[in-house]
A = this chain, B = another copy of it.
Amino acid sequence: MKLASLRHGRDGRLVIVSRDLKTMLPVDQLCPTLQMALDSWTIMAPKLQAVSEALNKGEASGAIAYDATRLHSPLPRAYQWCDGSAYLNHVELVRKARNAVMPPEFLHDPLMYQGGSDDFLPPTADIEVADEAYGIDFEGEVAAITGDVPMGASSAEAAKHIRLLMLVNDVSLRNLIPGELAKGFGFFHGKPSTAFAPVAVTPDELGDAWKDNKVMRPLVSILNGKQFGAPDAGTDMQFSLADLVAHAAKTRRLRAGCIVGSGTVSNRDASKGFSCLAEIRMIETIADGKPKTPFMKFGDRIEMEMTGLDGQSIFGRIDQTVVKYTPPS
């Protein structure tokens, strides 16, 4: 089934979206919010599934037209947002661009940081940034929403707790990151509010494109109306989403509604294009000593989408424009 949240209050109003993304049905009388559905998934999922089946058959009353601009991120806020870095090509490029090698332990020990989760952006909301000089970038990723995961869960155990899948724009402020990482505590200012595609889906919605806990489909990024990249999310993914969930749970439990991201989707085959500007800039730096593609400017637009094996958009579309933010005086 496909779930989304109408923009409403702090946590949205739960809707079920039809498989073809043509209609959506508010189900907040059954379950007010997606977080509440996740909190009681065993009880709620079968009920929501029954409504989803009726909606897909055109038999549900009260359905309204799908409209991404009325939707928030599936979880407008979450209790945890852990973002891994599973596509090692991206990591290797970052290092190569500064003449460093990737430590061999990165092959079995994923990078992961914790992002802010109290204020996600709606999928069609502007990206507000105070200064273009921050080095504004997008990052296309896939992510899992988990149920309750026990501490020390294996990857196989973690896989059982993947409830929903999403598409992410992990907005990054590249020029703030080097100074921040040099301080030793990881990302903070360099990772402002994240956006997610409007629709979260149960893994079965992907059919054969969900394999070994990976999403075997290209992630298409469109920058200012032109395709920027379509790397395959199932290719060159060193750690599956289940591996990343298990990594996150090594020393603590994860609780229902925890989001675990893949990191920037990146293929070794550069002809597939990229899911962030940093990567093409690294390739330019390796080739020419310096980048030529600029970071995003105010007015720039980024769209992201992924279609299934049937050509149908799975998660709906992220469609965001960068705008100048003026802080309170």
Asked whether, in the complex, the Cβ of A114 is within 8 Å of the Cβ of B188, the reply is yes
- Residues of chain A in range 171-211 having any CB-CB distance to chain B below 8 Å: 173, 176, 181, 183-190, 192-193
A298 at the A/B interface (Cβ < 8 Å)? no
Asked whether, in the complex, the Cβ of B129 is within 8 Å of the Cβ of A251, the reply is yes
A151-B327 CB under 8 A given contacts A39-B10, A114-B114, A254-B119: yes
Complex Cα gap A164–B117 (Å): 20
- Name the one of B118, B157, B257 contacting A328, with C-beta atoms under 8 angstroms: B157
Asked whether, in the complex, the Cβ of A251 is within 8 Å of the Cβ of B118, the reply is no
Residue of B nearest to A129 (CB): B251
Residue of B nearest to A256 (CB): B10
A111 at the A/B interface (Cβ < 8 Å)? yes
Interface of A is mostly: loop
Minimum CB–CB distance for A187 against chain B, Å: 7
Asked whether, in the complex, the Cβ of B152 is within 8 Å of the Cβ of A189, the reply is no
Give the oligomeric copy count: 2
Chain A 226-268 per-residue mask, 1 if CB under 8 angstroms from chain B, else 0: 0000000000000000000000101111111110000000000
Asked whether, in the complex, the Cβ of A118 is within 8 Å of the Cβ of B150, the reply is no
A300 at the A/B interface (Cβ < 8 Å)? no
Complex Cα gap A153–B256 (Å): 32
Asked whether, in the complex, the Cβ of B129 is within 8 Å of the Cβ of A186, the reply is no
Interface size range of chain A in the complex: 35 or more
A152-B325 CB under 8 A given contacts A119-B255, A176-B251, A251-B129: yes
Chain B residues within an 8 Å CB radius of A258: 118
Complex Cα gap A256–B80 (Å): 15
Chain A 126-155 per-residue mask, 1 if CB under 8 angstroms from chain B, else 0: 001110001000000000000000111100
A77 at the A/B interface (Cβ < 8 Å)? yes
Complex Cα gap A260–B250 (Å): 24
| Centre residue among A151, A173, A176 by max chain B CB count within 10 A | A151
Write 28 A-B pairs (CB below 8 A) sorted by A numbering: A10-B255, A78-B79, A80-B118, A82-B116, A85-B185, A106-B183, A109-B183, A111-B184, A112-B188, A113-B188, A114-B188, A116-B252, A117-B117, A118-B254, A118-B255, A118-B257, A118-B258, A130-B151, A130-B152, A151-B327, A152-B325, A152-B328, A153-B327, A181-B185, A184-B186, A186-B186, A189-B251, A192-B251
